Amino acid sequence: MVQTDELSKTLSALADPTRREILSRLVSGPATVNELAAPFDMTLPAVSKHIKVLEHAGLVARTRNAQWRPCRLNAKPLKRVATWVEEYRQHWEERFDRLDDYLTKLQQEQAANRAETGDKGEGPDG
């Protein structure tokens, strides 16, 4: 249950495009709130709120460097999301493989039926 709660926090934080953009910026390295706020047309307190949501989800950590408190990316929660999504990708891939096998079988049966009846499968005008 704890992992699900962490996953929910992470997915909720990632749901906002501003927060995803902040994370994209932090991939390049640590940055101050002012640096993170620069490209956005919003107030510094609004950007700070976004950063707090990211911190709460564990996606951003702040360090202390004299009077500065730069933000840095913590990718560990993203790994959990990737693992969770991967389980579903594998599930759907297996289902698509089974569907592909079934369709191939149907095509082979149709071809065999046409061969037995002499039908060339060219349609009604063929």
β-bridge pairing 71-73 and 60-62? antiparallel
Residue 14 lies in a domain: yes
The reported pTM is 0.69
Residue 6 lies in a domain: yes
Those residues with Cβ within 8 angstroms of residue 113's Cβ, 6 or more apart along the chain or in another chain: 119
CA pair distance 26, 64, nearest whole angstrom: 16
Residue 36 lies in a domain: yes
Instruction: Give percent of the chain with pLDDT exceeding 90.
Output: 62
3-class SS of residue 109: helix
pLDDT (tens digit per residue) in 34-82: 999 999 999 999 999 999 999 999 999 998 776 778 999 999 999 999 9
Residue 86 lies in a domain: no
In total, how many domains does the chain have? 1
Domain of residue 62, residue span = 2-77
| Paired residues of 71 in beta bridges | 31, 62
Region label for 20, one of left (φ > 0), alpha (ψ between -120 and 50) or beta (otherwise): alpha
pLDDT (tens digit per residue) in 75-124: 999 999 999 999 888 888 888 889 988 899 999 999 888 888 877 666 55
Residue 108 lies in a domain: no
CATH assignment of the domain containing 68: 1.10.10.10
The owner of tokens 């191939």 is 104
CA pair distance 29, 102, nearest whole angstrom: 49
